[in-house]
Amino acid sequence: MRDGNEDSEKAGRDGAASRGGTIQAVEFALHILEFIVQAQASVGVSELARQFGTTKSRIYRHLQTLVSAGYLLRDADTERYGISARLMALGQAVGENFELASAARFIARDLRDQLGHAVTVSQREPGGMRVLLLIASRSDIEISVKPGSLLSLHGSAQGKVCLAFGDQLLLPRICDSALEKHTAYTILDPEQLRAEIEMVRRQGWAVAPNETMVGLNALSAPIFDALGSYVGAVTMVDSIQFLGPAPDQEHIAGIKTAAARISANLGYRGQPGGAP
């Protein structure tokens, strides 16, 4: 016979196993949902079974759960599954209430506190990179970029990051246009700009010493969203005296870590194509 303590221990183990199985089932259903969202098209049971290396019956059970919850729709004619209006509305609501600046604010402040430089967060607009957020430096002499400023794609660290990791049609378009000269150091030669962007793509960060304004430098890294798409840049800005043309490893590590943390806040969990 077992005493009461043994019965309690078994019940605890069984309960833990049950909760673990439930958690795994939820995680798997979410992986299926993410795959269908990223596919941007309806998906069949067989395709999902191949993708996840499991049985069609297991996939089907999870699909039925997601359909019942209203997050997927099943086409009765094709027997394929796609996202629902409810899921799209939920995504839109999350986006409106969790914009890039909100996701980045505390991380940008941590970076400012760690290294002392002003920190900005910016996103792509048709005319360039719009500064959304500024965390001012602690220096008595303030050197930074005002929120609302629109920076060029070819003449700023933020813009170079966008050309490297954003829409791949942008760089050819920029190179075919007349590049505006901000200072004597702004890159105006298309071949030089292409080489610069390729280097940014390999190393994962960009600088623009004296290119937007003489005496100013910026160090920028890309931010990605839940689908691995480029959405913006986090940037340290300071006098070139304090943020040199060749940043040290502490600064590089700091900006890349901040970008990774902001991306994680936006739901990013993997490596997008071309990211280091």
Would residue 238 count as lying in a domain? yes
Domain boundary among 92, 118, 146: 92
pLDDT at 146: 80
Is the pLDDT confidence value at 12 over 70? no
List, for residues 146-186, the tens digit of each pLDDT value. 888 889 999 999 999 999 999 999 999 999 999 999 999 99
pLDDT at 138: 81
pLDDT at 186: 93
Would residue 50 count as lying in a domain? yes
Q: 110 or 125: whose pLDDT is higher?
A: 110
List, for residues 17-39, the tens digit of each pLDDT value. 344 567 888 889 989 998 888 78
pLDDT at 125: 86
Would residue 28 count as lying in a domain? yes
Is the pLDDT confidence value at 274 over 70? no
Work out the burial of residue 169: count CB atoms within 10 Å of its CB; fewer than 13 is exposed, 13-18 middle, 19 or more buried. Answer: exposed
Would residue 249 count as lying in a domain? yes
Would residue 185 count as lying in a domain? yes
Would residue 276 count as lying in a domain? no
Domain boundary among 59, 92, 125: 92
Q: How many domains does the chain have?
A: 2
Give the 3-state DSSP-derived string for the chain, with helices as H, strands as E and coil as C: CCCHHHHHHHHHHHHHHHHHHHHHHHHHHHHHHHHHHHHCCCEEHHHHHHHHCCCHHHHHHHHHHHHHCCCEEEECCCCEEEECHHHHHHHHHHHHHCCHHHHHHHHHHHHHHHHCCEEEEEEEECCEEEEEEEECCCCCCCCCCCCCCEECCCCCHHHHHHHHHCCCCHHHHHHCCCCCCCCCCCCCCHHHHHHHHHHHHHHCCEECCCCCCCCEEEEEEEEECCCCCEEEEEEEEEECCCCCCCCCHHHHHHHHHHHHHHHHHCCCCCCCCCCC
Is the pLDDT confidence value at 10 over 90? no
Domain that holds residue 48: 4-92
Q: What is the mean pLDDT of the chain?
A: 86
Domain boundary among 92, 116, 133: 92
Which residue matches tokens 């402040």?
109
pLDDT at 19: 47
Q: 25 and 80 share a domain?
A: yes
CATH number of the domain encompassing residue 64? 1.10.10.10
Is the pLDDT confidence value at 113 over 80? yes
| For residues 49-77, average pLDDT | 93
Q: 65 and 119 share a domain?
A: no
Q: 150 and 260 share a domain?
A: yes
CATH number of the domain encompassing residue 147? 3.30.450.40
| For residues 136-145, average pLDDT | 78
Q: 123 and 202 share a domain?
A: yes
